[in-house]
Structure 1
Amino acid sequence: MLPGRGRDPGGRTARADLHGPEGGTDAPVPPEHHRGGEDVSGEPDLPTRRRAIRVLEGGRARIDELLDRLPRAALGLPGLGGGSWSPKDLLGHLTSWEEFALDALEAWDRGERAPIDELQFTVSTSRINAQNVERKAAWSYARVRREAERTHERLLATIGGLSDARWRAPATPRGRRPLGARLGAILGGPAGPFRHDEAHLRSLAAFVADHGGRVGAAP
């Protein structure tokens, strides 16, 4: 079996109750917010597992580099991408989608549909994003960073532990698209599969430049 999902201190699964009451208007999200379950196609061929890992590692390294340039007081300030998110919110958002990817891998391993696919039939991607940001709003930056690092490491290890045959095979017995392609869509952005982190680099770089960080040209 794949590694289990983390749980919060209250013993609940580390996910918002996205099927619950609306509870207000969703907060604005940066303009390059996650594309959800769409079949991103920036790369025409299925990337290898090694390529996927390199893309994920590279995107996160650049995110971490920008975060490390920010003064501590700026990490929780809103305004990222012209919206209400802070850099801390962004990091929690990126982690939430890696959690969705791990959930999907566990479900596919059981021959079941990915939970994120079920959610996106009834809940908008904007609401999914807003609920997960809200769930982590009271967390300290240190906690968000630790959770991000643990989840990212677990995701890379899980991808690395898959066989090439499993990577190329349909995610479920009833499916047609390769597991690697399905996973790349969950973790994708406008530039292609596994490029979710990259989609947020420009707005984060602009935020760093506006809040006293040391940053050169936007990526």
Structure 2
Amino acid sequence: MKKAEQITLIKSEHAKLDKALSQIPPNHMEVSDTSGEWSIKETLAHLTYWEKELLADYARWVNGQPIHEFESEEEINTLNDATRDKAKTMPLSQAVSEFHQSYDQLIAWLDSLPESELDRPFAYGMTLGEFIGEDTWKHYQEHLYLFEKHL
């Protein structure tokens, strides 16, 4: 996938989250349902964490440092749970602000990224371009249903 297509997908899927987010009353953003489903605030922190981790992984990679590839789903779930726990005590305004800031950083990084980088092997047997998709637009799609449930 070309860089312009990747950026278009990221912006399009993120816009869906933003639109839903703008329609959710703030007092609904910190409420988890009884099934254990994450709150909007926790999900914002989760998405933010993985965007920031993508940027950090790339920085490590270009500096010749290893990228941490998780050994199992359990390891990822443990990290996600820790991110969720941290989000529980975070002010909603901080979660929303960091969500927008990490996205802006991501788009700025993508704008400056040479197109040729997208085809280079990166992690988990994926190219950088494939990996970017996993941590951005595909990840947004995965969690959009939760935002839409609160509309």
Identity of aligned residues (%): 20
2:71 alignment counterpart: 121
Q: Indicate the RMSD between aligned Cα atoms, in angstroms.
A: 2.2
Superposition TM-score, scaled by structure 2 size: 0.87
Superposition TM-score, scaled by structure 1 size: 0.62
Cα deviations by residue, 1:108-166 (Å, 9 ceiling, x for unpaired): 11122223x1xx22752211111111122211111111111111111111111111222
* Match among 203, 206, 215 for residue 146 of structure 2: 203
Cα deviations by residue, 1:22-77 (Å, 9 ceiling, x for unpaired): xxxxxxxxxxxxxxxxxxxxxxxxx2111111111111111121121122211111
Taking a change above 3 Å as real, the CA distance of residues 110 and 141 of structure 1, as seen in their structure-2 partners, is: same
Q: Tell me how far apart the structure 2 counterparts of residues 67 and 177 of structure 1 sit (CA, whole Å).
A: 31
Number of aligned residues: 150
* Match among 31, 47, 65 for residue 19 of structure 2: 65
1:178 alignment counterpart: 127
3-state SS of paired residue (1:171):
strand
Deviation at 1:101, TM superposition (A): 0.6
Q: Tell me how far apart the structure 2 counterparts of residues 87 and 176 of structure 1 sit (CA, whole Å).
A: 31
Q: Tell me how far apart the structure 2 counterparts of residues 93 and 59 of structure 1 sit (CA, whole Å).
A: 16
1:83 aligns with 2:36: yes
Q: Give ranges in structure 2 of 5+ residues lacking alignment.
A: none
Deviates further, 53-62 or 121-130: 121-130
> Are the counterparts in 2 of residues 55 and 195 from structure 1 also a CA contact under 8 Å?
no
Q: Tell me how far apart the structure 1 counterparts of residues 44 and 125 of structure 2 sit (CA, whole Å).
A: 32
Q: Tell me how far apart the structure 2 counterparts of residues 83 and 70 of structure 1 sit (CA, whole Å).
A: 19
Taking a change above 3 Å as real, the CA distance of residues 171 and 84 of structure 1, as seen in their structure-2 partners, is: closer
Q: Give ranges in structure 1 of 5+ residues lacking alignment.
A: 1-46, 189-193, 209-219
Deviation at 1:176, TM superposition (A): 6.7
> Are the counterparts in 2 of residues 166 and 179 from structure 1 also a CA contact under 8 Å?
yes
1:152 aligns with 2:103: yes
3-state SS of paired residue (2:121):
coil
Q: Tell me how far apart the structure 2 counterparts of residues 57 and 183 of structure 1 sit (CA, whole Å).
A: 13
3-state SS of paired residue (1:139):
coil
Q: Tell me how far apart the structure 1 counterparts of residues 4 and 28 of structure 2 sit (CA, whole Å).
A: 35
3-state SS of paired residue (1:124):
helix
Q: Tell me how far apart the structure 2 counterparts of residues 180 and 152 of structure 1 sit (CA, whole Å).
A: 17
Taking a change above 3 Å as real, the CA distance of residues 176 and 70 of structure 1, as seen in their structure-2 partners, is: closer
* Match among 106, 112, 118 for residue 59 of structure 2: 106
Give the counterpart letter for 2:98 in structure 1: E
Q: Which has the higher contact order (CA 8 A, sep 6+)?
A: 2
Deviation at 1:177, TM superposition (A): 4.3
Q: Tell me how far apart the structure 1 counterparts of residues 9 and 33 of structure 2 sit (CA, whole Å).
A: 27
